[in-house]
Amino acid sequence: MDLVVDDLVIEYASGDYVLRPVDHLSFEIPSGSLALLLGPSGCGKSTLLSCLAGILTPTSGTISVGGKVTSGLTGSALTEYRRKTVGIVFQSFNLVPSLTATENVAAPLRAAGVSRDVTAKRAAALLEQVSMTDRADHLPAKLSGGQQQRVAIARALAHEPPVVLADEPTAHLDYVQVEAVLRLIRSLAQPGRSVIVATHDDRILPLADIVIEMMPKFVEGSERPVTEDLNSGQVLFEQGSLGGKIYVVDKGDIEIVRRDDTGAESVVFVNKPGDHFGEMGPLFNLPRSATARAGSKGAKLTGYTLRQFSEIVGLQTLSGVLGKAAYGQPVKAVTKKRAAPTKAAPTKAAAKKVAAKKVAAKKPASRR
């Protein structure tokens, strides 16, 4: 079954502010493909997987599997989707400590009302598929991290789901264990089944048919600094959006606005002429943490790439930004002081002459 995500937005409250880790995301994963959701921690990979699994409901947009919209399912239809359409491989394995490998694989089958005989045969076949037959009667505590992950994969396949979701499946494994698990995950992607892996590990890239960058990297071109003229209240960028520019206010003022978990907005800082803002996004490839909009009199500003900005203010000042106020700093060019010229070391001959003069000067005048 093909999996299609169309214009997906996921937004939720965190403390007293709102996060939007997924912002108008669209992609398609054909059946039989291995897709990677690639990005650093906090970029929304696990949140997106939770929506694909039917655990979370997206704010807007749709998720479709096999042509059927699944993002709005409720009640028994949602339960059936979770049980038979998606299989989940958790980062921390999530095996039941008191159950053997066989019993962990059998658990979802028994929960669905499958008979003991059928369950036993299916569990044995799945453990054989992941090369764990010789550990079938072992408790999780007696298994290595790689072995536990293989049991978790077998459990995810219990109902033969057409979609398998794996959240950082190699995070807790050493390089020997990683090899076996990666081979297994690659083998799962076959006609009739898609595998979607959330990871920050770009070593997995060669295995993938599709790579979805959850946090696209900014590529600096040779473009010149851009000038922006904003009317009163006009938004430059929104909270949660991505951007590769650092801005300097030339005229007017820019309000930095943050939206809380109730939807209310508050101005947390006002940038005046000479102030710069927006450096954290380009520096660390992060979404904007607040909205920037023009004040009551409008604003004129210049946008720079990270490289252009660092050339203007100097690398020393740019690195010092992180230890200063959260928003807005006056831009000051860094001027390097010229070092005082150093005198060349005297030659041996010159040094002897100087020493001879000093000795002569110390001798008392002769009496006649």
Q: Are strands 194-199 and 34-38 parallel, antiparallel or unpaired?
A: parallel
Both tokens of 28, joined, read: 């398609």
Taking alpha carbons only, the member of 265, 288, 275, 149 closest to residue 215 is: 288
Domain 226-330, what architecture? Sandwich (2.60)
Domain boundaries, the chain: 3-213, 226-330
Per-residue buried b or exposed e for 81-111, using 16+ beta carbons within 10 Å of the residue's own CB = bbbebbbbbbbebebeeeebbbbbbbbbbee
What's the pLDDT tens digit per position in 282-322? 887 788 889 999 999 999 999 998 888 877 766 555 555 55
* C-alpha span between 280 and 333 (Å, rounded): 19
Task: Please tell me the CATH superfamily of domain 3-213, with its number.
Answer: P-loop containing nucleotide triphosphate hydrolases (3.40.50.300)
Q: Per-residue pLDDT for 336 more than 50?
A: no
Residue 329 confidence (pLDDT): 53
SS3 assignment, position 5: strand
Closest CA to 93 of 24, 20, 148: 148
pLDDT class of 97 with cuts at 50, 70, 90:
very high
Q: Which of 107, 104, 109 is nearest to 138 (CA)?
A: 104
Query: Parallel, antiparallel, or unpaired for β 163-167 and 86-89?
Result: parallel
- Give CA–CA dist 237/365, Å, rounded: 87
Q: Fold identical between 3-213 and 226-330? A: no
Q: What is the pLDDT of residues 82-92, one digit of tens each?
A: 999 999 998 88
The SS3 call for residue 162 is: coil
Handedness of CA 265, 268, 272, 278 (dihedral sign): negative
Which pLDDT tens digit goes with each residue over 170-206?
Answer: 887 887 788 888 889 999 999 999 999 999 888 888 8
Per-residue pLDDT tens for 136-157?
Answer: 999 999 999 999 999 999 999 9
Q: Rounded CA gap, 86 and 151, in Å?
A: 17
